[in-house]
Amino acid sequence: MSAGGTYDLAVIGTGIVGATAVGLATLRHPGASVVAVCAGAVHDGSTVRSLAVDIPAGRTEEQRALARRSLELRAELAALAPALNARTRRAYWVLPAGGAAGVDGQLVGDALAPCRSEQEARLRAVFGGPVGGAGTELRRSAEATFTEPADAVEQLLRPLTSGSPADGPRRDLAEGFAVRAVEPCADGYRLIAEDGGELTARRVLAAPGAAALTGPFAATAKRFGARTKKIVAYRLRGGEPGGHRPLLVLDEPDAFLLPVGDGRDWCYSITSTDWDCPPERTRLAPNPADRALAEAILAEQLPGFRPEFTGCRTGADLYLPDFAPLITPLDGLDGVVLATGGAGSGFRLAPAMAEGALALLGLD
């Protein structure tokens, strides 16, 4: 690939962070030559496993600012990627009694409202009994949005895959280009792949997801205290069927149920306690402790809901100690910026993460 000259920007990683960086860079800098590379196939990272739910919120002011900015950027990106946030569901919350004020402080541009009796009755019908265990209360928020992640990634990468006009800048996508090393060179940086392939770029944005703890990104990620963690989302079948089924957030156990289609299928995300897992999703699977946790939460919070477990989506994500994303130059390489650390929220924070990394590269 080096035969064609030096790209203005190379993006490592075609998950939602890398794909969003490609989308933003090509929208804002139409004359820039851009290449994206990924270690395997385009959808080999955690993004394709994501439930891609976006409830704009954050524990800290920094996280809320990223959530707010991501909302604004989605409007800019919608022209390129209409799949982003294309679907909505009403959202209900099961909270410890008195917990609503705490959640209100975390939500961006929204506040929880009391649940009316007919809404609660509707929920009880969906889940075949009480919604929330002892000492909990029910609230509702604005509609939650969610995305089909593979569609969004493909649309964001379209500037690289739709073919460059004869007089336009070079745009390329290289699958199976697993970057082993990034070295400074006369034109900027040389990316060297495991199989010996090479390309050069003036600037590099690395969005390797949980693989940031390997290869050329590892020293920087480790210095910031990054760790990997497994995320598990079960597929369930049960309850009352229909398109009226809501997103249900179980706040205290940090879990949620997302309806799939109009039948009786759900995705059920729980917070696994499996830290320091391998980054490759093909090496990850739920363990008996994950399943026991998933069943215990349902038994306590939705005792009338006895779904069948029909499948599972499992992936790894990168977590910083403060759960904020990591956006920083690689140690010793100012023109190479690392953008990772989704911490289970990387889909919804990807626009602000990508914009922050591009700004560090002078491409804002």
Interface pick for ligand FAD out of 307, 315, 335, 356 (rule CB under 6 A): 315
- Measuring CA to CA, how many Å separate 140 from each of 127, 128, 270, 299? 16, 19, 20, 22
- Residues sharing a CB contact under 8 Å with residue 364, sequence separation 6 or more, in sequence order: 28, 355, 358
Helix (H, G, I), strand (E, B) or coil at 283: helix
Number of residues in contact with ligand FAD under rule CB under 6 A: 42
Q: β-strand 179-185 against 188-193: which pairing, if any? A: antiparallel
Contact flag: residue 340 with ligand FAD (CB under 6 A): yes
CB 315, CB 231: distance < 8 Å: yes
Interface pick for ligand FAD out of 211, 213, 236, 338 (rule CB under 6 A): 211
Q: Which amino acid is at 132?
A: G
Residues 279 and 219: their CA atoms lie apart, in Å, by 16
Structure token pair of residue 96: 């410890």
Interface pick for ligand FAD out of 207, 277, 338, 352 (rule CB under 6 A): 207
CB 224, CB 311: distance < 8 Å: no
Give the sign of the dihedral formed by CA 232, CA 237, CA 241, CA 242: positive
Structure token pair of residue 320: 């910083």
Choices 107-115, 163-171, 203-211, 236-244; region in contact with ligand FAD by CB under 6 A: 203-211
Which is nearer to ligand FAD, 124 or 227 (by Cβ)? 227
Which is nearer to ligand FAD, 125 or 174 (by Cβ)? 174
Which is nearer to ligand FAD, 127 or 177 (by Cβ)? 177
Residues 153 and 158: their CA atoms lie apart, in Å, by 9
Which is nearer to ligand FAD, 126 or 226 (by Cβ)? 226
Within 10 Å of residue 225's Cβ, how many Cβ atoms?
A: 11
Q: Write down the least CB distance from residue 339 to ligand FAD, Å.
A: 7
Residues 91 and 132: their CA atoms lie apart, in Å, by 14
Contact flag: residue 342 with ligand FAD (CB under 6 A): yes
Contact flag: residue 16 with ligand FAD (CB under 6 A): yes
Interface pick for ligand FAD out of 157, 305, 348, 354 (rule CB under 6 A): 348
**Three-state SS string across 107-130, please?**
ECCCCCEECCHHHHHHHHHHHCCC
Contact flag: residue 257 with ligand FAD (CB under 6 A): no
CA atoms within 13 A on the CB side of 313: 16
Phi, psi of 233 (to 5 degrees): -130, 115
Contact code string over 258-277 relative to ligand FAD, x by CB under 6 A: -----------x--------
Contact flag: residue 286 with ligand FAD (CB under 6 A): no
Binding to ligand FAD in span 19-48, by CB under 6 A: 37-40, 44-47
Contact flag: residue 58 with ligand FAD (CB under 6 A): no
Interface pick for ligand FAD out of 6, 8, 14, 245 (rule CB under 6 A): 14
Contact flag: residue 70 with ligand FAD (CB under 6 A): no
Cα end-to-end span (Å), the chain: 26
Contact flag: residue 147 with ligand FAD (CB under 6 A): no
Quote helix, strand, coil % in the chain, to nearest 5.
Answer: 30, 30, 35
Interface pick for ligand FAD out of 56, 58, 208, 335 (rule CB under 6 A): 208
DSSP for 221-241, written as a single string: HHHTT-EEEEEEEEEEE-S--
Which is nearer to ligand FAD, 122 or 279 (by Cβ)? 279
Q: Write down the least CB distance from residue 364 to ligand FAD, Å.
A: 20
Interface pick for ligand FAD out of 12, 71, 84, 201 (rule CB under 6 A): 12
Q: Write down the least CB distance from residue 94 to ligand FAD, Å.
A: 17
List residues binding ligand FAD (CB under 6 A).
12-18, 37-40, 44-47, 49-53, 177-179, 207-211, 215, 231, 233, 269, 313, 315, 317, 340, 342, 344-348
